[in-house]
Amino acid sequence: MSENGLQSKFRHMLFGCARVSTADQNSDHQIDALLRAGVYRENIHIDKASGAKASRPKLDLVLQLLREGDTLKVTRLDRLSRSVLHLVTLGADLRERKIGLHVIEQGIDTETVEGRAMFGMLSVLAELQRELIVVNTMDGLASARARGRIGGRRPRSRPPSPRSCTTRGSRRSSRSPICSTCLAPRCTGT
C-alpha cells in the first residue's frame, strides 16, 4: 500500500495545549474547551509557566509529537505565547510542517487565509497586552516606592548565624535564651 494510502487510513490527530502562569491558577476552563473542540484528554498537555518563556516542557513535547496533517488547538493565543516573535516563528514552523493551528475562543484557523491573517494581528495584540502589563506593574511599584512602601514578599525569618550565637554567648547572660534562640540544645557544662 502506498504512503498516501496509509495516511488516508489514519485519522489526523488533535493535540491541545493549555498554560497557566502559576501553580495556583486553574486550567479547568482550558481543558473543558479543548475537550469540547474534540481533543482527547490524553492529548491535552498543560504547562505551568509564564507565557513570556519561549521554551516550555509540555509545549516542546507537543511540538515533537505533531505530524503532518495534525492540528494543535489552544483556547487563546496568549496561552501559547505572549511574544510576537515566538508566535510568528511557531506559526511559520507549523505551516511549513503542514500542521494546523486552531485558536478556539478567537476563531482562528491557520488552514485558511483569513485565519492566518487574524493569527498575525492577534499575535501583535498579545505582545502589546503583555508589555502593557509589565509597564503598568513597574509604574505601580515605582509609585509605591515613592510613597515609602516596599512591595514583594515579606522576608522569611532565618535562624541566627552561628557567629551571632557566639557573640551572644560572650555577653554575660543566661545560656537558656541563647540556646533556644540559636536552636541549640541547652548546654550543661561551664
* pLDDT tens, N- to C-terminus, the chain (190 residues): 444 544 444 578 999 999 988 777 889 999 999 999 999 999 999 998 765 655 688 999 999 999 999 999 999 988 887 677 788 788 889 989 999 999 999 888 888 888 878 777 877 777 787 788 889 889 988 888 888 887 777 777 766 666 655 555 555 555 556 556 555 565 555 5
Q: Which of 2, 8, 21, 143 is catalytic?
A: 21
Shortest CA distance to 119 belongs to which of 143, 153, 96, 95? 95
| Residue found under cell 498575525 | 120
Is residue 185 within 8 A of residue 175, CB to CB? The reply is no
End-to-end CA distance of the chain: give it in Å, rounded.
Answer: 91
Cα–Cα distances (Å) from 23 to 4, 34, 48, in that order, read 43, 20, 6
- Give the start-to-end residue ranges of the domains of the chain: 3-142, 160-190
Which residue in 132, 131, 73 sits closest to 105, CA to CA?
Answer: 73
pTM of the model: 0.59
Is residue 21 annotated as a catalytic residue, yes or no?
yes
Fold of 3-142: Rossmann fold (3.40.50)
